[in-house]
Every structure is written in C-alpha cells, then in structure tokens.
Chains A and B, each alone.
Chain A
Amino acid sequence: MIALRGIRHRFGAQLVLDDLDLDLDEGRVTALTGPNGSGKTTLSRFLLGLSVPDTGEVRGMDGRRRAAVFQENRLCEQLSAVGNVRLVLPRSTPSSAVAADLRRAGLDDPELAKPVRDLSGGQRRRVAIVRAVLAEADLLVLDEPFTGLDALGKVQVMAWVRDRCAGQTTLLITHDLAEARWFGARVVTLARL
C-alpha cells in the first residue's frame, strides 16, 4: 500500500498541506481534486520523490518505480515522439511497438519521426501521456493529463489510457469529476487552507 501520513508543508508563510493522510489503493485509480493552490501537485511531487514534505512521510514507495505525466509536457525537444518514449523504456523495446502505441493515441505516421518541437500542443501532450503509460512503473501519476486535447482526441486518449492502465496503481489529478468517474476512480478532494 502506498500511503502518505501526517503530511504538512508550507511555501514560505503559506501553509499548503496540514496533517494530511492519503492511501492509494493498489491496482486502482485514485483521483485527487480540489481548487488551485490546494496542494495536489505538491502532493504528487512527494510521491514521485521530487520533493520532501516539511513533516510527514511517504510509505510504500521504497524501491518502486514511478512514471508521470506532468502538468507541462517536459519532452526532449530535439528527439522524435518515438525517441522521447523510448528514452524511458528498456533499450530492447522495439521502435515499432512504441510507434504502434503512439498511433493508437492519435499520432499519424509523419508525426512520429519529427522532432517533437515541430508537433502541435495536442500531439506533444499525447507523446507525454504515451511515455508515462508505457513506462514500467508501480505508480503512475497523471497531473491534469488531458489538458490541451480537443474533445474527440481527449475521448480517444482517455480510452487508450484506461485500457493500458487497468490494474495499475494510479494517481489522477484533475479538476474534472467526469474524468474521475470515467476511470472508475475513488475521489479525494483537497481543500485550500
């Protein structure tokens, strides 16, 4: 069980999280909602090992692999879509398998070989999502993953993510409760302090 216990954190004088406990159900999606500034992304950074809370602890993550879709795409601009995804996969992963999944997420063949800096915002977002979903991970963090996708593309990508992530422990950060319901997630709402 991945769990956060007694998390308290401030940014300067601003208290963001105060004595927060959170359990992530193994093999299920937990959706984290709440207004801007309520500490959702901060919490995900603790789980990803990128920040340490002022007090409290993260349990159950020792030696476990993480993957994430960040709020920003965070892609290597000079690499192709396939190159960005392969970077986080074992070397033995064939490009053709990665390309097939990128196609399923809505990228066309000509877009697969281009440097991602030449792709549209929506296509770049798809690459970031595919990278996280294909990575071998024990915890997947999706921080507002479908932002920037058009309505049709969003449905297509959400369906692909739901299929691929079935049975994976996932933290979905979202403002959209419909997204949380689509993933059959347990919803946890943070309040702004």
Chain B
Amino acid sequence: MTSTSAAESTATLARGAVRPLAVVVFWVVVWQVSALVVGHEVLLASPGSVVVRLSELSLTADFWGTVWTSFVRIAGGFAAASVLGTLGATLAASSRVVDALVTPALAAVRSAPVVSFIILVLIWVSSDQLALVISFLMVLPIIYTNVLEGIRHRDRALLEVADVFQVPRLRRLPAVDLPAVLPFFTAACRIGVGLAWKSGIAAEVIGLAEGSIGERLYEAKILLSSADLFAWTAVIIAVSFAVEKLLVAALRHVERRLA
C-alpha cells in the first residue's frame, strides 16, 4: 500500500467514526434547544437532567435488578420464539398441511395490534409472565416467516446432489441448509430483538409487572417525571441495541465459519 492510499484509508476510517458521532451531537443539541424553548422539565426533560438521573439510577442495586428482570423475561420470549419459529418453519417447509394451517394464523398474529394480545393474555397469565408471552408472540411470526423463506431459497441443484449421493441430513445441514437459511434468520433476529423489547415493555407497562422496567415507566408517568421516563427509555434503547449487535455479531461469526 502506498503512503497516499494509507492516508486515504485513515481519512475514510476517521470519517466513518466521526459521522455517527456528529449525528448524535446534532440531535442532542436539537433536544437541548427544544427543552430550553419548552422551558419546563415536566414536559420535556433536558439531556443534562436525563444524564444526571441515569447516573443516579445506575448507582443503585434496584436499577440493575430491574433491568435484569425485564431482560430475562423478554430474552426468554425471544429465545422461545426463535426455537419454535425455526421448528415450525422446518415443519411447514416439508408439510403443506402445516404450512396451510400455520402461515395464515401467524400472519394474523403479526397484523393484530399488540395491545389486543396484551389484554387477552393478561386474562390467562400473571403479569410477571406477560412480557415473556407477548415478546414470544410478536417475534414468532417474524422468525417463522423468514426461516421458511430461507428454507425455500435453498439451492435446488444442491438439494438434488444431496439426494442423488444420499448425503445424511446431519451432514447436509451445515453444507447446504444453513448457508442458505442463516442470512434470513439473522435478518429476522435484527427485526425481532427490537420488536421483542418494544412489545415486552408495553406489556410490562399495561400489566404493571412488579420490579420491571415497564413498572418504572408507569411510575414515571404517575409522578410526572420526564427525566425518569427518558432515562428508562434510554436504558431500553441501549440494552435492545446491545443485544441486537451481540446476537447479529454471533450469527455473522457462524455464517463466516460456514462460509
């Protein structure tokens, strides 16, 4: 590499790091100016007061316990949906009857308002389990649809090769099936993680799940504490973002290993 091209690469990297930071700074400034214009912390907390509140909260054991409680429930729902969605898609790919029965039902689940499910499920399960069930229900159709699409996009020519040479299923899986399905599963996870958190927290707010982030958001509303509302929202975004990045990185690693 010449010194000119090395310098160009460094400049490109620097631009790549600076641009997102500049975007964040821009919106924080917009937020700060808006808070100054509104002039009332109850209506719109300033970035400074949110950061202070977040710092105060993060120093308490209760904060981490609350985050952990919500995380376990929502991640549990997401994991269950990933497993059952993948199994369901595998069954639907090999059985027209399963496909005909399950696909429309899950399309209906995907289209129905999440609040309808929250109220319905609240009749059946305790508020502690509500976030798990709701995030499961919201993620299940996404995983199912994407994995089914991935299975259907497998290379037919390679499947014929596997049939002719009678390659056992366990050996086909990493060679033929997973390389085709994994990109679809990864895309589903990207969408699914955010949706699991949004719907799970909504369920916690409505169900008033004890010791959850949703309960803290509800308290913030009752106490008219914008700073708390913004601080907990920031926590939700951060955890959801981190989980998505970690999960996608792990799946990309598997994709690279298979490739």
Contacts and interface: CB of A to CB of B under 8 A. Distances in A.
B175 A87 contact: yes
A65 B160 contact: no
B119 interface: no
Interface in A67-81: 67-68, 70, 72, 74, 76, 78-79
Contacts of B112: none
A88 B164 CA distance: 10
A183 B82 CA distance: 54
Interface string B175-194: 11001000000000000000
A76 B176 contact: yes
B160 A50 contact: yes
Given A76-B176, A79-B175, A49 B259 contact: no
Nearest to A84: B175
Contacts of A135: 165
Given A50-B163, A88-B165, A115-B259, A70 B175 contact: no
26 contacts: A48-B160, A48-B164, A49-B163, A49-B164, A50-B163, A66-B165, A66-B166, A68-B164, A70-B160, A70-B161, A72-B157, A74-B157, A74-B160, A76-B158, A78-B179, A78-B259, A79-B175, A83-B175, A87-B165, A87-B167, A87-B171, A87-B175, A88-B161, A88-B167, A115-B259, A131-B165
Contacts of A68: 161, 164
B164 A50 contact: yes
A76 B164 contact: no
A72 B171 CA distance: 22
B79 to A, nearest CB: 27
Given A70-B161, A78-B258, A88-B165, 15 more contacts: A48-B160, A50-B164, A66-B164, A66-B166, A68-B164, A70-B157, A70-B160, A72-B157, A74-B161, A76-B158, A78-B259, A83-B175, A87-B167, A88-B161, A131-B165
A67 B164 contact: yes
A131 B166 CA distance: 13
Contacts of B259: 78, 115
Contacts of B158: 74, 76
Interface string A60-104: 000001111010101010110001000110010000000000000
Interface string B235-259: 0000000000000000000000011
Contacts of A49: 163-164
A87 B158 CA distance: 12
Contacts of B176: 76
Contacts of A76: 158, 175-176, 179
Interface string B116-136: 000000000000000000000
A87 B167 CA distance: 7
A114 to B, nearest CB: 13
A76 B171 CA distance: 12
Contacts of B160: 48, 50, 70, 74
Nearest to A88: B165
Interface in A40-54: 48-50
A86 to B, nearest CB: 9
Contacts of A74: 157-158, 160-161
Contacts of A48: 160, 164
Nearest to B161: A74
A49 B159 CA distance: 13
10 residue pairs, one from A and one from B, having the closest CB atoms: A88-B165, A78-B259, A74-B157, A74-B161, A76-B175, A48-B164, A66-B164, A68-B164, A50-B160, A87-B175
